[in-house]
Amino acid sequence: MGAASMAIRGFLLLLLFLSAAHLSLSLYEDQVGLMDWHQQYIGKVKEAVFHTPKSGRRRVVVSTEENVIASLDLRHGGIIWRRVLGSNDVIGGIDIALGKYVVTLSSDGSILRAWNLPDGQMVWESFLEGSGSSKSLLSVPTSLKIDKENLILVFGKGSLHAISSIDGEVLWEKDFAVESVEVQQIVQPIGGDLAYVLGFVGSSHFDAYQINVRTGELLKHNSAPFSGGFSGEALLVSSEILLTLDSTGSKLVIVSFQDGEINYQQTPISDIFGDSLGTPVLLPSKLPGLFSVKLNGAVIFIRVTGEGKLEVLDKVNNVAAISGAISISDGQQAFGLVQHGDGKIHLTVKPTIDLSADLLKESIDMNNQRGVVHKVFINNYIRTDRSNGFRALIVMEDDSLLLLQQGAVVWSREDGLASIIDVVTSELPVEKVGVSVVKVEQNLFDWLKGHILKLKGTLMLASAADVAAIQEMRLKSFEKSKLTHDHNGFRKLLIVLTRAGKLFALHTGYGQVVWSLLLPTLRKSETCKYPTGLTIYQWQVPHHHAMDENPSVLIVGRCGQSSEAPGVLSIVDAYTGKEINSMAAVHSIVQVIPLPFTDSTEQRLHLLIDANQRGHLYPRTCEAIDIFQQEFTNIYWYSVEADNGIIKGHALKGNCNQEAVDSYCFESKDIWSIVFPSDSEKIIATVTRKLSEVVHTQAKVIADSEVMYKYISKNLLFVATVAPKGSGEIGTATPEESWLTVYLIDTVTGRILHRMTHHGSQGPVHAVFSENWVVYHYFNLRAHRYEMSVIEIYDQSRADNKDVLKLVLGKHNLTSPISSYSRPEVVTKSQSYYFTYSVKAIDVTLTAKGITSKQLLIGTINDQVLALDKRFLDPRRSLNPTQAEKEEGIIPLTDALPIIPQSYVTHNLKVEGLRGIVTVPAKLESTTLAFTYGVDLFFTQLAPSRTYDSLTDDFSYALLLITIVALIAAIFVTWIWSEKKELKEKWR
């Protein structure tokens, strides 16, 4: 047996060596892209400027509502370069100068930047000061010369600035805030050094300033009163004429300012449109010599003649958008307009000199899930036959961006995903036994088409389009992108709601859009003029053993900006994206409370609170009301009035006292309130535990086998307040003037369980509440650094629970019911640490059973997500932990939290404009799913305690099989050797 054991031992050493060699070649970077995905967007386009040189890359430069400047390739719509400005750095104007710079104006006219057109690198940046507030205007001359210093005029903050196009130097400045003029337009006539600054003084004077562009000298100032008064903005019709409405809105006023001399001409609207009902609206389309008016759903184009007369040229119905004018051959100009009809969009390009002629007329089939056209930008090119061709960039209602050319959609971008406001997850359907996934996901035609494509690819006969289709098929057939539920729960649907009121279902495999729905209830209509999406909730989650019903989600919206505006509800199938039901609520919606009860169809009960603190039960069924009545006395909620510094607790009282009997409406009563003194405290943050969080155990074993019991309650509320002087931006208050106070409040009784003050600190505060602890981030003015603090709360009433006999006999107080009305005996532990970065969002990992250790996911100011082990935020950390504490896992105390580069779950990627982090448990206990959204999207799988309950994706099953076979062979060979050896020994 000695030879056999030596052989086995040698083989095991060889196997260990091979395994170690295999592990040494497995790099962490190799996992990037296997378990995560990253998508880049730009947001809803506000302005667009085309750059189409005769040679070189053709592109369009856009600015968006997400404060993004981007250069897009006109061939496929891909991002060439992109720059994301801050959330407060709103872009007010964009243009291209000298054919090589992109000039942008932002921050209310206070920051002017020039970007290199090819690569987006910043060339120069100018900070413009002013003494007032005003609209911002950017004027880039069209006749710029490269070998000459050209001036860019900018109006903002009540001042006019002249900036050099070479280096961004401010050459001169003139303050108009002292003149009390509300500037409307800046006009630079071509071929001169003059500029006109035009605006209103009050509501009855028009002022024109003639300025020397080179020196900033005021050459002439004219002011003329107008007895009718002005209303609205003034439109520039030509280089010498403005148009506006009088104060009553019944007359069109033409303002001529030739050579600075001001003249008025008034035309009653009834003389042009007759006795039409409705109020005319001037459209801000830049058409030379023309202007457009929207009246009763139609757009009327009117020309201003040289004598100041108005001539109606055309009337077009169902116009969705009008573009600005562009120059075409022979010095002519043209503009485009888009109409809707018959499920199509109709694009028409007309010359400005003759609106009866059409340079282009096309109809394009359009998916109705994109809504109507909001904006259109056109560009011309020369066809091979030397005629003018046109392409149109259109912005749709769902914030998507499309390029139209030659009657077809060349490319499209789903940029609505850059403005996600809420996220919820849904499980995928279970793959039924005996049914192929191919049959579920594809029909017979698609199946045959796929095999033909694969055959063409094998015979090398596939075209470029066929190759792309084959790659897409392979992606769909890959395990990660299947549209069925997997054993570990990694494959899910991320259902997101965007600011445009559109739902997207994203597959967690690769982030592909499974379905999308532009919600009818959140579209602008006569009954709902200002729809706003609020949140998404799980509505129906049927168990997998009874899949007759698909899961569904509830989308809550509002018809208006005010909290008292009526609410709207939609219920959408999570698998198909079809709207099951919609309700226009007659009441407002200020709060939605998902109740922990479901009916026989697994529909979850929801209590919707209106502005009068009445509760409305949904679904409105007899079964739901029966379930609700049984738990009537156990329903509590709270409301926060941050502006007034009041937190109130509420309970149900009875049915509503209304004229019309509504058995699903309930009056409420205030059971407690906390009023924070307005002169010393202002509420800036509140946070509670997630309802879906699972706590594995209430007991926490500490050093020397001692046990502490977590105070676990879903009714705890964390509140942060600051001194009024410290409620502004960081640095606006001194350490003596600002302090931060945090509270832990029981929302059933209103009892304050813990209170702590951080002197010399201020917000903003970002916090996360999990189990019995809360972590929050703020700024320490004394140390000039950010800090993170942790509070853990424990139940002292169970501290003596060490008698097993009492537990067996049922006399242990762990078995006694817990009530918020019984005064808790709690103890808290807290600690503060310095933290390097500012924080945009913070969340905590969630797992299926709550066994796995926790990690904090911190969205930092550099738009990355950092995973920080909760052990670093243990309040029991000390400078010299005992041996027992070291064995427990207590880390020695340091004043700052470590930033480990390998702990960035986003790797070297950025989630630009990061706004939120959502964590979802997988079925595998070790793994949690994390979704980060902003202008970009990022998804990944995390294992805070490593994958202790599964094999890794790179595990070599082939090596395992070889090992098993080799071991069996080795055992068999050594057995034969052993038998022969024993036989020889017996013959001796």
Domain match, 685 and 645 both: no
* Residue 681 shares a structural domain with residue 830: yes
**Statement to judge: residues 465 and 476 lie in one domain:** yes
Contact between 296 and 349 under an 8 Å Cβ cutoff? The reply is no
CA–CA gap between residue 304 and residue 309 (Å, rounded): 6
Ordered DSSP codes for 31-59: GTTTSEEEE----SEEEEEEE--SSS--E
Q: Which helix (H) or strand (E) holds 282?
A: strand 281-283
Question: Which H or E element spans position 770?
Answer: strand 761-770
Q: Residue 745 phi/psi, 5° resolution?
A: -125, 135
Task: Confirm if 45 and 401 have CB atoms less than 8 A apart.
Answer: yes
Q: Does 435 have pLDDT greater than 50?
A: no
Are residues 790 and 877 in contact, defined by beta-carbon separation less than 8 angstroms? no
**442 within domain boundaries:** yes
Contact between 618 and 665 under an 8 Å Cβ cutoff? The reply is no
| pLDDT tens profile 274-291 | 766 667 788 887 888 888
623 and 734, same domain (yes or no): no
How many C-beta atoms surround the C-beta of residue 370 within 10 A? 22
Structural domain contains residue 783? yes
| Domain presence at residue 625 | yes
Distance of alpha carbon 982 from alpha carbon 988, whole angstroms: 10
Q: What is the mean pLDDT of residues 822-844?
A: 90
Residues 925-943: tens digit of each pLDDT = 889 999 999 999 999 999 8
For the chain, percent of residues with pLDDT exceeding 70: 88
Inter-residue contact 653 to 665 (CB < 8 Å): no
DSSP label at residue 130: -
Give the tens place of pLDDT for each residue, 342-369.
Answer: 888 999 999 888 888 888 999 998 888 8
Which of 129-133, 232-236, 860-864 has the highest mean predicted lDDT (pLDDT)?
860-864
Q: Does the structure show a pLDDT above 80 at 808? A: no
| Kind plus residue range of the DSSP H or E element containing 795 | strand 785-795
Count Cα neighbours of 691 within 13 Å in the Cβ-side half-sphere.
7
Ordered DSSP codes for 178-226: TTTEEEEEEE--TTSSEEEEEEEETTTEEEEEEEETTT--EEEEEEEE-
Which residue is associated with the tokens 């051959």? 329
Contact 377, 323 (CB under 8 A): yes
Assess whether 803 and 707 both reside in one domain.
Answer: yes
Given a contact cutoff of 8 angstroms between Cβ atoms, the answer to whether 107 and 85 are in contact is: no
DSSP reduced 3-state for 568:
strand
Distances in Å between the alpha carbon of 814 and those of 287, 706, 707, 799, 819? 78, 17, 13, 10, 13
Q: What is the pLDDT, as a whole number, of residue 18?
A: 38
pLDDT digits (tens, 9 = 90+) for 745-781: 999 999 999 999 999 999 899 999 999 999 999 999 9
Q: Check: CB of residue 233 under 8 Å from CB of residue 215.
A: no
Which of these, 819, 794, 770, 631, lies nearest to 706 by C-alpha position? Answer: 794
Is 807 found in the same domain as 687?
Answer: yes
Q: Give CA torsion, residues 817, 820, 824, 828, to 10 deg.
A: 120
825 shares a domain with 701: yes
From residue 364, alpha-carbon distances to 402, 418, 787, 846 in Å are: 12, 26, 56, 47
Residue 712 domain flag: yes
Residue 168 to residue 152: CA distance in whole angstroms: 9
Within-domain flag for 797 = yes
Q: Quickly count helices (H) and strands (E) in the chain.
A: 9, 64
Residue ranges with strand state E in 386-542: 388-396, 401-405, 408-413, 420-427, 492-498, 502-507, 513-518, 531-540
**Whole-number pLDDT of residue 27:** 32
* pLDDT for the residue 22: 36
Decide if 43 contacts 415 (C-beta within 8 A): yes
Give the model's pLDDT for residue 24. Answer: 31
pLDDT band at 139; cut points 50, 70, 90: confident
- Decide which of 455 and 594 is more confident: 594
Which of 215-229, 385-399, 425-439 is predicted most confidently?
A: 385-399
Q: For residues 367 and 508, what is the distance between their CA atoms, to the nearest angstrom?
A: 25
Residues 668 and 763 in one domain: no
Integer Cα distance of 947 and 929 in angstroms? 13
Cα angle 476-38-854, degrees, rounded to a multiple of 5 = 105
The count of structural domains within the chain is 4
Shortest CA distance to 735 belongs to which of 768, 784, 688? 784
The predicted model scores a pTM of 0.86
- Looking up tokens 């140390």 gives 783
H/E/C letters for each residue in 817-876?
Answer: CCCCCCCCCEEEEEEEEEECCCEEEEEECCCCCCCCCCEEEEEECCCCEEEEEHHHHCCC
Tens digits of residue pLDDT in 545-574: 445 678 999 999 999 888 888 999 999 999
pLDDT value for 453:
74
Q: Are 260 and 208 in contact (CB under 8 A)?
A: yes
Is 283 contained in some domain?
Answer: no
Give the residue, 816 or 123, on which the prediction is more confident.
123
Query: How many other C-beta atoms are found inside a 10 Å radius of the C-beta of residue 387?
Result: 9
User: Token match 């001036």: residue?
Assistant: 151
70 within some domain: no
Do 615 and 658 have their domain in common?
yes
Q: Among 425, 455, 481, give the residue marking a domain's end.
A: 481
Instruction: Tell whether 699 and 670 lie within a shared domain.
Output: no
Give CA–CA dist 752/42, Å, rounded: 45
Burial status of residue 345 (CB atoms within 10 A of its CB: 0-12, 13-18, 19 or more): buried
Residues 688 and 799 in one domain: yes
Are 682 and 651 part of one and the same domain? no
Which residue, 616, 640, 675, sits at the end of a domain? Answer: 675
Q: Which residues contact 485 (CB under 8 A, 6 or more apart)?
A: 427, 428, 429, 430, 431, 491, 544
Which residues lie across from 241 on neighbouring strands? 238, 256
What angle in degrees, to the nearest 10, is found between the helix axes of 957-986 and 2-24?
170
Domain encompassing residue 981: 956-987
Residue 474: pLDDT band (50, 70, 90) is low
- Supply the pLDDT for residue 817: 60
- Position 328 scores a pLDDT of 85
Residue 438 lies in a domain: yes
